[in-house]
Amino acid sequence: MSPLKREWLTHGCMRLSDYEEHERPSLKIRAHITEMHQGIPFSVRQWPRLGFRDTLWWYEKSVEVPCSAASYVLKVDRRRGPNLYAGISVEKAFEDDEKARESAAKARVRFEWQRLDERWDWYRFVSSLPQIETLVRSVAGELGGELYLWVEFGEEGEVASQYYVVTGNALYWRGGFKPVRWSEVAQFVEQPRPRSWGGVYLVRAFTLDECSPYLSEWKVVDVLKAMRPIRDTWRGLIP
């Protein structure tokens, strides 16, 4: 077992160097995901790329553009917590060629890593919104608690975002009590933002108390297993 430490939440980052390499949660969880997918190899993506991480993603090794795939995710977030979030995410790249080239040059990556095209699972996420509600609510019920759904576009200081809570019965604004229609999520997501990077997270939150003194990696794996049908839908693995 690779315990996930309470200190991650209090410091807002994952100090993976505290572990022996073969015991690092990023690699241990990857092994569980590979087993869950009958031996299909997965890669790990981390952010920031240097220093202490606050986000880990896992996606199939065969994916050509890492950001393009609906991924399993583990995220430390002090802005909304402090909490440790486990679940799935999908990203939207730039639709504007000039902006994509600028971003690619700055990040020193290939243009296609920054330009939205038909390979990106974002399109499947958007098209799934009218039908995915029942499945998402069933996963919330299976996990026995609330899920958090947040959608963000833009960069620091210029962010357009919506933050929701999903229960087994309905979707709500975070901090609200009136149910929200899923069509409202779709309306927000579908607004044209060609020069904005975007992303959606569907996650289960582990609080500071739940991570004290540590959280078992198996708790995270249980969440990822429950969310697999949603991710498979966004990956195009389920019609």
HSE-CB for 74 with a 13 A CA cutoff: 29
Contacts of 109 (CB under 8 A, 6+ apart): none
**pLDDT greater than 60 at residue 18:** yes
Residues facing 5 on adjacent strands: 214
Distance CA 32, CA 86 (A): 14
Residue 156, pLDDT score: 66
| Average pLDDT in the chain | 92
Q: What is the mean pLDDT of residues 219-239?
A: 95
Q: What is the pLDDT of residue 36?
A: 97
Residue 234 has pLDDT above 60, yes or no: yes
Helix, coil or strand: residue 180: coil
Task: List beta partners, residue 95.
Answer: none
| Residues in CB range of 142: below 8 A, 6 or more apart | 226
Which two structure tokens, joined as six digits, stand for 190?
A: 């579908």
The pLDDT tens digits of the residues spanning 49-100 come to: 666 789 999 999 999 999 999 999 999 987 777 889 999 999 999 999 999 9
User: Quick count: other Cβ atoms within 10 Å of Cβ 143?
Assistant: 17
Q: What is the pLDDT of residue 131?
A: 92
Question: Residue ranges of the domains in the chain?
Answer: 4-235
* 169 CB-near residues (< 8 Å, 6+ apart): 137
Amino acid identity of 111? F
pLDDT in tens, 114-158: 999 999 999 999 999 999 999 999 999 999 989 999 999 997 668
d(CA 76, CA 57): 12
Q: Give 8's contacts (C-beta < 8 A, 6+ positions apart).
A: 14, 15, 76, 84, 211
Rounded Cα gap, residues 171 and 59, in angstroms: 27
Residue 48 burial (10 A CB sphere; 0-12, 13-18, 19+): exposed
Helix (H) or strand (E) segment spanning residue 234? helix 217-235
Sign of the CA dihedral with 4 first, then 143, 43, and 67 last: negative
pLDDT, mean of residues 194-209: 95
